[in-house]
């Protein structure tokens, strides 16, 4: 008898998710005679036993579809909304895993999903994960699928913003997703030729940005495009974050830690309007008009790029092979163009940030891009 495999997608929907489900399913069914069960809406589906049998027919025609045919949610096994209250539903999930006779569960998602999957692995379940997120911030893999598609969409947006910025002699600030990492803004910013790129890894000084815009103006270029990552922070905010981090590290009692963590969350909320503050301040400093474009969920929508379909197919088919070999507690990753399994313990709790000396940053600086530092 072939193994019975469960699969779910969790966290923000990502182009390439269906390509990964298809690849896993087709390889598992045809190469190893396995059976595939899909759980709806992430870990919630496993808790509610809301499932669908994924046979060859179901897996057909989904390679090019955006989103996820299984649905998704950000629900955590240990903190689920049950009748309006947050409850630890780990036991119910473990029970349903066994009730369905699962030999393994494949969790497809970003950093949150890796953490939730690891939690279930620690309960003794056979867990294997695939890294999917447009943010490309999962540790242990060179690339996550979804990133290439989102980078393409953001690059096209920058291309289109060029003509309107140039016609009106304006500053256009385009806010790009990426959570606390700058991969998307950096990649799209370099590919789209943004004049200024602001990422969380390099806190910015508004005055330095204004200086570079005025320098461009002096050279006869009366418009500028700024690609800003949603998590980018100014130097002032960086100081406040660092001080809070230090205080949290030093605080001994739980009550103070809780209060400080709350303060950090409040700072996060305040930072969500940094693009607006940046636009207002740049208008004052440069006397140029500034406009903002927030790309938001556009970046997660639509058809996956060829590169994402390819990566998702490589990861999904390899996943079936690792299940057959019974290698669990791992994430299937891309490293130096090879697909391999990395221990989940090495992935969880980390965020893959852009290293300050990264090649993309170096190349951008060489063509005169300002990073606000």
Residues that bind ligand F6P (CB under 6 A): 12, 110, 133-135, 177-179, 230, 300
Q: Can you tell me the distance from the alpha carbon of 139 to that of 62, in angstroms, rounded to the nearest whole number? A: 28
Asked whether the beta carbons of 142 and 336 are under 8 A apart, the reply is yes
Please say whether the beta carbons of 154 and 174 come within 8 A.
yes
Q: How many other β-carbons are positioned within 10 Å of the β-carbon of residue 370?
A: 23
* Secondary structure E strands in the chain: 4-9, 35-39, 51-53, 80-82, 85-87, 104-109, 127-131, 171-176, 196-198, 224-229, 290-294, 330-335, 338-343
Query: Toward ligand F6P, which CB reaches closer, 25 or 71?
Result: 71
Q: Is 135 a catalytic residue?
A: yes
d(CA 234, CA 271): 9
CB of 199 to ligand F6P, least distance (A): 13
Structure tokens at 155: 């690059």
Of the two residues 195 and 230, which places its CB atom closer to ligand F6P in the complex? 230
> Residue 110 has what DSSP assignment?
S
Q: Would you say 133 or 369 has its CB closer to ligand F6P?
A: 133
Contact (Cβ atoms closer than 8 angstroms) between residue 200 and residue 182: yes
Q: Closest CB to ligand F6P belongs to which residue?
A: 177
Sheet holding 4-9, edge to edge: 51-53, 35-39, 4-9, 104-109, 127-131, 330-335, 338-343
Out of 13, 41, 88, 135, which one is annotated catalytic? 135
Catalytic center residues = 135
């Amino acid at each position: 008898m072939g193994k019975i495999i469960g699969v779910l997608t969790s966290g923000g929907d990502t182009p390439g998710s269906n390509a990964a489900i298809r690849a896993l399913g087709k390889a598992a069914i045809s190469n190893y005679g396995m059976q595939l069960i899909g759980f709806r809406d992430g870990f919630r589906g496993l808790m509610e036993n809301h499932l669908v049998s994924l046979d060859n027919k179901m897996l057909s025609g989904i390679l090019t579809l955006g989103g996820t045919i299984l649905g998704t949610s950000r629900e955590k096994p240990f903190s689920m909304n049950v009748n309006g209250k947050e409850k630890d539903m780990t036991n119910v999930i473990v029970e349903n895993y066994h009730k369905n006779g699962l030999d393994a569960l494949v969790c497809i998602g970003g950093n949150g999903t890796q953490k939730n999957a690891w939690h279930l692995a620690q309960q003794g379940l056979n867990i294997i994960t695939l890294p999917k997120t447009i943010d490309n911030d999962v540790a242990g893999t060179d690339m996550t699928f979804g990133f290439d598609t989102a980078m393409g969409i953001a690059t096209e947006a920058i291309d289109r913003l060029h003509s309107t910025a140039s016609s009106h002699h304006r500053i256009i600030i385009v806010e790009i997703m990426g959570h606390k990492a700058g991969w998307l803004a950096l990649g799209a910013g370099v590919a789209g030729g943004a004049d200024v790129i602001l990422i969380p890894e390099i806190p910015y000084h508004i005055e330095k940005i204004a200086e570079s815009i005025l320098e461009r103006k002096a050279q006869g270029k009366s418009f500028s495009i700024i690609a800003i990552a949603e998590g980018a922070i100014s130097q002032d905010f960086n100081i406040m974050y660092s001080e809070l981090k230090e205080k949290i590290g030093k605080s001994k009692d739980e009550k103070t830690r809780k209060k400080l963590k709350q303060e950090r969350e409040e700072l996060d909320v305040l930072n969500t309007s940094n693009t607006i503050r940046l636009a207002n301040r740049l208008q004052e400093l440069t006397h140029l008009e500034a406009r903002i474009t927030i790309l938001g969920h556009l970046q997660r929508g639509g058809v996956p790029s060829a590169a994402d379909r390819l990566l998702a197919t490589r990861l999904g088919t390899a996943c079936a092979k690792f299940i057959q070999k019974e290698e669990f507690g791992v994430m299937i990753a891309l490293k130096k163009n090879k697909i391999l399994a990395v221990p989940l313990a090495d992935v969880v709790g980390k965020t893959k940030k852009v290293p300050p000396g990264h090649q993309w940053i170096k190349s951008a600086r060489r063509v005169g891009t300002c990073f606000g530092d």
